[in-house]
Structure 1
Amino acid sequence: MKRTSNFKPHNVTREDRADGTILLRSAEPLSPVANTTGEWLHRWADEAPDRTFIAERYGAGWREESYAATLDKVRNLAAALLARGMGPDTPILIMSGNGVDHGLLALAAQYVGIPTVPVAEQYSLIHGAHGRLRHAIELVRPRMAYVVDAAQYAEALALDALEGIEIIASRPGPGATPFDELLKGDNSVDIDAAHAQVGPDSVVKLLMTSGSTSSPKAVMTTHRMMCANQAQLADAMPFLRARPPRIVDWLPWNHVFGGSHNFNMMLANGGTFYIDEGKPVKGVFDRTLENLSLVTGTLCFNVPVGFAMLLSALREDAPLRQRFFEDLDMIFYAGASLPQDIWQGFEQMAMETKGEIPLITSSWGLTETAPAMMLQHEPTENSGVVGVPLNGVTAKLIPDDDMRCEVRVKGPNLMPGYFEAPEKTAEAFDEEGFFITGDAMKFVDLDDLNKGMKFDGRISEDFKLLTGTWVRAAQLRIDMLALLSPLAADLVITGADKNEIGVMIFPNTSELEAEGFALQDDNGAILCPLLLGEIHRRLAAHAATGASSSTRVVRAIVLSEPASMPDGEMTAKGNLNFRKVLTRRADLLNRLYADADPAVTTL
């Protein structure tokens, strides 16, 4: 198969220390880094003033803001914010999802050094999740809050935690300041002088961690972090600088992937961001397809389930398939490994449509690293590889007997710390100043470091069976999701302090309904002999391949209740909080290990 030639080969160096640790670095220097995101905005407003920077759906077409118009509005908004007394110590809480006004407000705040705090819109729109919103408010103490529609967010805006905070709304209601009022600016403010005071170390975002292992913390994100990361990414992917990139993207801006990685990639490289209000969810994905029928990207970002839905849709729509691939430089997945059949489906479709396979890849990083630290920036044939350190990054690898390495990192894109949490900040770094990620990786090929590394789970997710056998839960979860696809939407690996490994399965309800499997008992578990029989068959086939006690899944139960965000079982990013699931569903966990329960299949 012909693969793209528009890529930068890996070039890493390795340093072995006497204590057994390994330092892995790129051998390439880091390109010059912008001081602030405002430099990008000024550059492209000067070089490509009429090019669309950001757009959202408006009627049958798009509301589009050019680079020149964006700069003008950002400066007006920034002046209005300063005139209201806003500054580095008065954060702005952004409660709404992606939108043009959201983007303009965020850039305006960055322009004059006012931190923004984007939170998941679900925290405002779901009554049971208001506790998460309240936690963020109490932690960061905002002076101002933004929503797109005051009526839609009325319940959240009525929280006593927001009392005394100025509310800004694009579609205002009683007591809310119209967004258009801020767009008028304020001539009493010296906006150039204020902008000149902002530098690389100015904090521009307080990004909330997912809270999957502890209470959410606020990551202090600086201009240096975001600007360095975009220089690193462009160094690794030359097509970003070769022509202005374009994306049609839904990934939420309260998360570092959508809001820092993707948003800033367009701004740094003079690209265009079409906001996709669709999502990879049944009934909402149709909006994504409608948006793609209007415009397609040079880059495509998504999570694995989104790519699975997209591949299926492209197979049924030849004109869209042609448009999708004609300018495509990269397919980028995150959140989990892309199933190999989906990977190969895109490869085959690209060859049939274009005669060349774009770069299909992923990377690795965290909210604390703005986010990318490693990237697979040369072609590979297998999913799950996260590549090599980006320019300027040092990865400190602490191997165990199986050459599974705990990963710690340094780099210019690393956070200075957590907001008003000195103890948690101190705990996050080792004695050499490396950030302790808690993640584990393995080399793809010990004899060729340029083959990159493969993510191998969270150290904290590993557990021992009563036999003393270690179970690498994260990798086993990935394997089980592939084995049980498409019946399982997600699952939790169980077995800590038990004799056997089990799985608690969150079903893919649309697939189950299509197959007639959606039958449940009175105790909260799906009970269908056909479904349990199919799960049993697949687990038995896996065990028959010679699975060891550390990978042999013996028990399975299918859950009828979806993961609850209000109860903390699911984060805003859509990831499961495994500990919370096991705690909240302790009765079902006990049933899983009870013999002769008709809702449980056992080998």
Structure 2
Amino acid sequence: MSARQTDRRPDAPALAGQDEQERWYDISWREFDRQINVAAKALASLGVKPGACVGTFSANRPENLVTDFACYRNRAISVSIYATSSPEQVAYIVNDASIAVLFAGNSTQYHFAREAQQHCPCMTQIIVIKPIELDEDDNTSMLWSDFMKLGENSGSSIEEEVRRRCDEALPSDIATLVYTSGTTGEPKGAMLTHANYNAALEAHKIALHMLSTDDVSMAFLPLSHIFEKGFTYVCLMLGIKVAVNRDPRAIQDTIKEVRPTCMCAVPRFWEKVYTAVNDKIASMSPLSRAMVNMALKVGRKRNIDYVRRGLKAPFWLEKSYRFFDRKIFSQLRGAIGIDRPNIFPTAGAPVSSEIVEFFHSAGLWLMVGYGLSETTATVTCFHKINYEIGSVGKPLPSVKVKIGENSEVLVKGPTVMRGYYNKPEASAEAFTADGWFRTGDAGYIDSEGALFLTDRIKDLFKTSNGKYIAPQMIETRLGTDKFIEQVAIIGDSRKFVSALIVPNYEALREWADSNKISYSSVEDMLGNQNLLAMMEARLEKLQKGFASYEKIKRFTLLPHEFTMDNGELTNTLKIKRRVISEKYADQIEAMYS
């Protein structure tokens, strides 16, 4: 991939990275390819053999992509580990994949890797990407700069060996192990082959025909997430510059610096943008607010009623839209940091139809999709025309989808994994007798072929009254509110549905202060009856259209957020329902007493 682009456009930027002072710099295709070659020779010099697993435990950095492709040139297997993983989680993956060489991003990950190393006899080498001081008693680690010198100083025999391995590579070789987040049970390494990636890239070349070398992508989600890794590979295949965002917490700043035309994100990102934009609209003068609402009405009619259906908008509507796009929508997009929007793939969790309609009306095209680690990311996505809002789109070319028992979504095609690494029983359970992959998601397909998801099958529960509840649907609706940060819906075998809510503390403080409510602590504020009444009224409004048995009857506001450190969230920020049910058992029982 890098060699091909180097031949075509050697001096064009392939990547943009941030130095230690957070200043952006470009890496040309020529330089990217050179670094991959050097790193590939360094890995061979360290004794990495074809079929061996090499780990990368780091936040997003250009070096993560260098190590990926250096592994591929050695026929080795790249294993990305979330930068937020604990030493125990690192140790589990290192031992499961028998990783000998592990790249660590910074000082924190280095020390976590060293802690894990005490329980991992297979790990013999740690390479730290960021220039830091290594521990004095450490004789198994080196810095990235020394690692690259190792490759630069390797002899012709090493270079010839890497070339031979690359020439002998087969499509059936395992390219990466992508470890599932483990909402239930231990993580499993999905084996994705080069054939899986080749099929995914070819399918995306068709589905993402609107992308070109004029685009700029931002790698915002972790590159250990198959969604980001897959989309980044697509961008590199198409010759699109990829800006590698290191700190997801700084995205509001970096997006304004990079001004990407495409970027994949999870719905929570757009929920926060949506809330911020609506707060801004609410603070406008009545005349300005009326203008924005009129613009959104025009944008909706033009983009959703006409453009979405492949129809030409009437002259008067097109002219009105152009006016509002210039006067209002361009300012809105500019404030976000997106001046030249193309497509913004969105997946990883359910996304509210209200949010999709809002951004599409404003000229920001959220390309909603659905996929899994086991399917090399995308299974379905919005097509440019004739997509159904509320759905997750239609299947990629070459991917087949059908509905099986218990409304389970089943997938078959060349992008589906080989199985789970070292887990033959789990691999067998993951497929039907006739070879369809069981996604674990429930859904249905409409008459136009669009897939609609209802929930994770394991998350669906039944109240004691026999009514089925899809918790993600309720959580997604509530997540659009500016006062709500996280939600866990409760109700399995209970008389009614309840909720544990992590509020947006800053928004609640502003509300309490503006309503002259005094409080001495967060707990004191959350117990205020006026505040609780306000939240109850908002919940009732948010749940408009729900069946009575689906509505939250009682709720508890929590003074602390759900975190990965406390074991309540996976690395992909999905809630672990069993952990939360056990940890907050007293609060839950109080709602049903």
- Change over 3 Å in CA distance of 1:498–1:291 after alignment to 2: closer
Residue of structure 1 aligned with 2:68, choices 106, 129, 143: 106
Question: Is 1:167 aligned to 2:130, yes or no?
Answer: no
Residue of structure 2 aligned with 1:257, choices 214, 227, 237: 227
1:525, distance to aligned residue in structure 2 (A)? 10
Question: Is 1:115 aligned to 2:77, yes or no?
Answer: yes
- Contact kept, 8 Å, 1:492 with 1:504, in 2: the verdict is yes
Question: Is 1:183 aligned to 2:148, yes or no?
Answer: yes
Q: How does 1:177-576 map to 2 (within 5 A)?
A: 177-184=142-149, 185=151, 186-187=154-155, 188-189=157-158, 190=160, 191-240=162-211, 242-259=212-229, 261-279=230-248, 284-285=249-250, 288-310=251-273, 312=276, 318=331, 321=334, 324-350=337-363, 359-379=365-385, 383-398=389-404, 405-443=407-445, 445-446=446-447, 448-449=448-449, 452-482=450-480, 485-516=481-512, 526-541=526-541, 547-576=546-575
Q: One-letter code of the match for 2:94?
A: I
Q: One-letter code of the match for 1:179?
A: W
Q: Deviations over 1:55-88 (max 9, x none)?
A: 2123474232211211121112111211221024
Aligned residues: 524
Q: Deviations over 1:411-449 (max 9, x none)?
A: 111110111000110111110111111111233x43x33
1:310, distance to aligned residue in structure 2 (A)? 4.3
What is the SS of the residue equivalent to 1:460? Answer: coil
Q: One-letter code of the match for 1:334?
A: A
Structure 2 distance, partners of 1:388, 1:473, is: 24
Which has the larger displacement, 423-432 or 217-226? 217-226
Structure 2 distance, partners of 1:323, 1:551, is: 35
- Change over 3 Å in CA distance of 1:60–1:577 after alignment to 2: closer
1:522, distance to aligned residue in structure 2 (A)? 10
- Change over 3 Å in CA distance of 1:530–1:88 after alignment to 2: farther
- Contact kept, 8 Å, 2:351 with 2:476, in 1: the verdict is no
The equivalent residue for 1:587 is: 586
Q: Deviations over 1:517-554 (max 9, x none)?
A: 896999999422123212322344567x5743441221
- Contact kept, 8 Å, 2:56 with 2:104, in 1: the verdict is yes
Structure 1 distance, partners of 2:429, 2:221, is: 30
The equivalent residue for 1:36 is: none
Structure 2 distance, partners of 1:472, 1:313, is: 29
Structure 2 distance, partners of 1:337, 1:546, is: 18
Structure 1 distance, partners of 2:522, 2:217, is: 46
- Contact kept, 8 Å, 2:462 with 2:468, in 1: the verdict is yes
What is the SS of the residue equivalent to 2:344? Answer: strand
1:141, distance to aligned residue in structure 2 (A)? 2.0
- Contact kept, 8 Å, 1:520 with 1:560, in 2: the verdict is no
Q: Which has the higher contact order (CA 8 A, sep 6+)?
A: 1
The equivalent residue for 2:31 is: 69
Structure 1 distance, partners of 2:518, 2:416, is: 46
Q: Deviations over 1:102-125 (max 9, x none)?
A: 2211210122211122111112xx
- Change over 3 Å in CA distance of 1:512–1:90 after alignment to 2: same
1:154, distance to aligned residue in structure 2 (A)? 2.3
- Change over 3 Å in CA distance of 1:542–1:304 after alignment to 2: closer
- Contact kept, 8 Å, 1:206 with 1:220, in 2: the verdict is yes
Structure 1 distance, partners of 2:115, 2:341, is: 45
Which has the larger displacement, 521-530 or 452-461? 521-530
1:246, distance to aligned residue in structure 2 (A)? 1.8
Structure 1 distance, partners of 2:234, 2:191, is: 20
1:387, distance to aligned residue in structure 2 (A)? 0.8
TM-score normalised according to structure 2 size: 0.82
Q: One-letter code of the match for 1:397?
A: I
RMSD: 2.8
The equivalent residue for 2:303 is: none
Structure 2 distance, partners of 1:538, 1:290, is: 31
TM-score normalised according to structure 1 size: 0.80
Q: Deviations over 1:497-518 (max 9, x none)?
A: 1111111112222222222289
Richer in helix (by share): 2
Q: One-letter code of the match for 1:509?
A: Y
- Change over 3 Å in CA distance of 1:347–1:195 after alignment to 2: same
Structure 1 distance, partners of 2:520, 2:189, is: 41
What is the SS of the residue equivalent to 2:404? Answer: strand
- Contact kept, 8 Å, 2:57 with 2:104, in 1: the verdict is yes
Residue of structure 2 aligned with 1:131, choices 76, 85, 88: 88
What is the SS of the residue equivalent to 1:386? Answer: coil
Question: Is 1:145 aligned to 2:102, yes or no?
Answer: yes
Which has the larger displacement, 526-535 or 373-382? 373-382
Question: Is 1:577 aligned to 2:573, yes or no?
Answer: no
Q: One-letter code of the match for 1:44?
A: Q
- Contact kept, 8 Å, 2:369 with 2:393, in 1: the verdict is yes
1:458, distance to aligned residue in structure 2 (A)? 0.9
1:262, distance to aligned residue in structure 2 (A)? 2.1
The equivalent residue for 1:353 is: none
- Contact kept, 8 Å, 1:249 with 1:301, in 2: the verdict is yes
The runs of 5 or more residues in structure 2 that have no matched partner are: 282-329
Structure 2 distance, partners of 1:360, 1:43, is: 30
1:304, distance to aligned residue in structure 2 (A)? 2.7
- Change over 3 Å in CA distance of 1:157–1:381 after alignment to 2: same
Q: Deviations over 1:225-278 (max 9, x none)?
A: 1221121112112113x445321232001111112x222112111111101234
The equivalent residue for 1:9 is: none
